[in-house]
Structure 1
Amino acid sequence: MQSQIRKLHDKYHAELAKIKNLKELEALRVQYLSKKNGEITNLITQIPKLSIKAKKSIVPQLIALKKEVEETLANKKTELNSKKSQAYRDLTIPLPKAHSGHLHPTTQIIREMNGFFRYHGFSIGEGPEIEEVEYNFRRLNLPEGHPATDLQDSLYIHEPDILLRTQTSSIETRILSNNQPPLRIVAPGKCYRNETNSSTNASFFYQYQGFVVDKEVNIQHLKYMITKWFQFLWGEDVKIRFRYKYYPEVSPGLGQDIQCTFCKGKGCQICKYRGWIEMGGSGMIHYNTLKTCGINPEIYTGFAFGVGLDRMVMTKFGITDIRKLYGGQIVYK
């Protein structure tokens, strides 16, 4: 029987080395340790037939063989499970995107509009929020003492020269003063005014400024660009109207409105019962503005537009109170 034990030991290890998966490993376990017909079990059942002297040498060998088989089977199982687990941790396997919140509506609108204007050949500009009066007023055809300067109720940091910018038009004057045409720029940004907070106005708000300066630019180019822009945001069926409006930095000036998306033109609190929501102002850049910024108005013309982003966000996301946008409440999806 000792020779049988040795042969069985060698045979087992040779077969164990060929095992590649858990199914084959289970079959090997049954082959050697099955209670009914396992090869080691069959040898153990023959022990009562041995002499006392033979038992003293055979029994310890069989017990050692059985223990060795059980331990090596367990180790092999751990090894195979580890390989299987590593396969599932492959970092190249694509996984579903985890939900981790979403962008603020204002950020979403800014990115959408930046994409639209980039497609039409515009670059994205930026400028300081703490601004000089020179760029915020003077180069926009607003001389010292001009009535529009008082109407804006500016927030000064150091009177009379340094303030929080009241409009993104200051980005326009900075770029015009430091670059030569042709220029196509849009510039989203924060603005500040001394306003009493209400459902439709706030002291902190976003504007989106854009301008084009080149040879032979006219007002039809302006109306075309604004129409395409609003159709991009609200759909092809959006109703738009242009009104003559005075702005010191442009001449002629236009106000652009869309039909109220809340009441469909019937009149409500959001549109102040007018049926239309004002989306900003625009116009042909004033002769004096171009000249003050160092651009020859006899050669170049241009248009500019500026819109209140917060009102755009409200109409697009169905938000009825501007204060909810920046109050920390999740009132939009």
Structure 2
Amino acid sequence: MIETLEPFRIELTGYCYRMLGSGFEAEDAVQETLVRAWKAYDSFDPSRASVRTWLYRIATNICIDMLRSAQRRALAVDLQPPGGEFGEPLPERVFVQPVPDSRVLPEDQAIRKETVRLAFVAALQHLPPRQRAVLILRDVLAWKASEVATLLDISVASGNSALQRARSTLQTVDPGEPLDVDDPVQKSLLSRYCEAFERHDVGTLVALLHEDATMSMPPFSWWLRGRDALAAALSDPNASCKGAWLVPVQANASPAYWQLRPGMDQPFGLVFIDVRDGLVTGSTTFLNVNELLPIFGSPNQTGMRVDF
């Protein structure tokens, strides 16, 4: 029985992560899914549905139940206007959280990897739970309309209507464009940005920024927008990253790095870099390292950045 259920763990975690916006909650949801399936396996009827469809039905119901009492997870840029005081750290449940690629992207499936980007997952959180499920199943996992209707116990027409409403909402949220990791221009930009960061070359860093670039540091709601505002923050001697270096990590199908600092026995933060049209459009540095290490594991403290 375990041999039948366990192979679905990664793809189910990816599904639940898109639904919930948290790798921690996604893994909890999948564990509960597998436990329920194990207990009910004797009553499973393969003539009515495949094991995969059955597991997705259980996982969907669990996610919807979890979302009934949860607030919408978001990115810092969705919470308040830019600037202001740094303030106090907010609870983990406020923010969309990062997740390792290995936990959510099955190697044997052709799934759109960009659909685990932080911005896309944050955009999904604007959808009501059932619309969210329909859109993920149809547009991300390429399920047929009839399969989704059966899973959610709705008509095909109702499922199609929910899909159209979900697509319309996503267009208003604008999750941005995914990075083409094979684009030599983007790869060169990331390499130059990381090298400038490690040299603490503020002038070069600023020159690589888009004029509307953003900077945020969850679990704080504080964030900045605009090249000038970011230049001032990067130049602040009280917030210097001098001596720090970056170690790449595979997370959210995006350029991501552990930021390491001399004298620290664990990373300072997990940094995501957004790029577009040959410029850096944003950086998000997750500072809740103690919460992230259990799911990501510790980086190689002596490691150096490697080029994309």
Task: Please tell me the TM-score bracket, short chain as reference.
Answer: under 0.3
- For the pair shown, the structure with the greater C-alpha radius of gyration is 1
**Normalised by the size of structure 1, how large is the TM-score?**
0.22
Q: TM-score normalised to the size of structure 2?
A: 0.23
Higher helix share: 2
Which one has more relative contact order, counting CA pairs under 8 Å at least 6 apart?
Answer: 2
Identify, as 1 or 2, the structure richer in strand: 1
